[in-house]
Chain A
């Protein structure tokens, strides 16, 4: 079964965000990793770069396809999950945990409210499937 972590925020391109103070931890949802299939490579986003919500920050490569990943929130990338260089499959195995992708220092912490709550994301997924 597809899981949706209840405490996270979700972007329409299937990224999730976990807010701690002014920092946003982000990754892709279980739905997204399942749709991509086995993830085999990603070029990690560059630390120090300023990104705008909704813009592409990297591509995720699976055995099936190449899929762009979008910044769910605006700010500066302050850290990336270096472990994914060697073990990109962590995104499949633990999308909300060990498969996190980056941390953004948010430009405007209120921007997170533009994202979907877990229940809104669930409704959104149901609509996407139909």
Chain B
């Protein structure tokens, strides 16, 4: 691992100037939070105002070529065949055993033209997997290092986008994403998508590298009155956790199927896709583990790897856990045998050798106005 050079995004020097504290994530040196704010304040800013993230570590692929629509539909389990130009879809790559190689986002730019966003840790693996299942004349290109990916998230993100997008706002309201530009960084050809990982209204913006600093600065400047803050990966994690969104390597991995992780609602069983047969079998037989969301009833912070108990019996492990800034309580996710997974059941999480009482809840942990 040490031999691999640490990767930095195009905005690294800007983050340094903004006082970022860095963390190594999937081989990338990324801001965890910025000086003078901290994770709690950044979290709150995204819940009430608007925040700007650099998430350029995530992998980005272009897929094109005649017939690639049909090929993609046979690879992924979600109904990509129903996508229209301007649609975005949460999807997954499954292996033949039906377990999750990655969770991804698919954007349809046009007929036989797609843009994919994949997890940083899985970029090379996904590329090879897709490449191995595509046929001529489909072309897959990794454009991660030629572009940057920003996320603008929070209830005031639209007020901000109104100021920097050059066209009638109706257009982005109609579609999930558009190809456009950010004023005043003209001619930058960005892709603006109405997607995100925070549970708030928000946008993800793909910008070609030469313009990314301009785009970042234009967004921060336009958001000045809206109390915009740059946000690090720390708050990105607490924000997604409060919504019960899975994170690859924690809730989903190559030992877990989408059914076990509660992601079966995204799957289109009416079509053929890689990993379908074992999933149908699992649906018939039932799962042996199930993802739960739980909230502590006492003080404490659950963390990944902690044991989950039902009474005296160990029944599973925590996969993600932290302090919920909105609920002011410890929250987490984990896997247990289905008979222990009922909503409302009391469990115990072993935190530093004490059993902290918790209750299984239905996600999301956090809803607006609560």
A residues adjacent to B (C-beta < 8 A): 37-38, 40-41, 43, 59, 61, 63-64, 66, 85, 92
On chain A, the residues within 8 Å of B238 by CB distance are 63
How distant is the Cα of A73 from the Cα of B43 in the complex, in angstroms? 37
Distance in Å from the Cβ of A90 to the closest Cβ of chain B? 14
Distance in Å from the Cβ of A4 to the closest Cβ of chain B? 19
How distant is the Cα of A59 from the Cα of B21 in the complex, in angstroms? 23
Is the beta-carbon distance between A63 and B299 smaller than 8 angstroms? no
On chain B, the residues within 8 Å of A38 by CB distance are 38-41
Partner of B301, one of A37, A41, A85, A92: A41
Distance in Å from the Cβ of B323 to the closest Cβ of chain A? 4
Residue of A nearest to B37 (CB): A38
On chain B, the residues within 8 Å of A37 by CB distance are 21, 32-33, 38-39, 234
Give the 10 A-B CB pairs with smallest separation, nearest first.
A63-B39, A40-B323, A61-B301, A38-B40, A38-B38, A38-B39, A59-B352, A41-B299, A41-B301, A37-B38
Distance in Å from the Cβ of B338 to the closest Cβ of chain A? 30
Is the beta-carbon distance between A64 and B234 smaller than 8 angstroms? yes
On chain B, the residues within 8 Å of A40 by CB distance are 40, 301, 323
Q: 19 new A-B pairs (CB below 8 Å) besides A63-B38, A63-B238?
A: A37-B33, A37-B38, A37-B234, A38-B38, A41-B300, A41-B301, A41-B330, A43-B352, A61-B323, A63-B43, A63-B234, A63-B322, A63-B323, A63-B325, A64-B32, A64-B39, A64-B234, A66-B303, A66-B352
15 A–B contact pairs at CB < 8 A? A37-B38, A37-B39, A38-B40, A40-B40, A41-B301, A43-B299, A43-B352, A43-B354, A61-B301, A63-B40, A63-B234, A63-B322, A63-B323, A66-B301, A85-B299
How distant is the Cα of A61 from the Cα of B352 in the complex, in angstroms? 11
How distant is the Cα of A63 from the Cα of B323 in the complex, in angstroms? 6
Distance in Å from the Cβ of B76 to the closest Cβ of chain A? 34
Residue of B nearest to A40 (CB): B323
Residue of A nearest to B238 (CB): A63
Chain B 289-301 per-residue mask, 1 if CB under 8 angstroms from chain A, else 0: 0000000000111
Residue of B nearest to A66 (CB): B303
On chain B, the residues within 8 Å of A64 by CB distance are 32, 39, 234
How distant is the Cα of A64 from the Cα of B38 in the complex, in angstroms? 10
Residue of A nearest to B23 (CB): A64
Q: Which of B211-270 contact A (CB under 8 A)?
A: 234, 238
Distance in Å from the Cβ of B301 to the closest Cβ of chain A? 4
Most buried by B among A43, A63, A64, A85: A63
On chain B, the residues within 8 Å of A41 by CB distance are 299-301, 323, 330
On chain B, the residues within 8 Å of A92 by CB distance are 38
Distance in Å from the Cβ of A99 to the closest Cβ of chain B? 15
Residue of A nearest to B237 (CB): A63
Distance in Å from the Cβ of A26 to the closest Cβ of chain B? 20
Partner of A61, one of B21, B40, B300: B300
Q: Which of B269-285 contact A (CB under 8 A)?
A: none
How distant is the Cα of A37 from the Cα of B234 in the complex, in angstroms? 10
Distance in Å from the Cβ of B326 to the closest Cβ of chain A? 12
Distance in Å from the Cβ of B166 to the closest Cβ of chain A? 38
On chain B, the residues within 8 Å of A63 by CB distance are 38-40, 43, 234, 238, 322-323, 325
On chain B, the residues within 8 Å of A66 by CB distance are 301, 303, 352
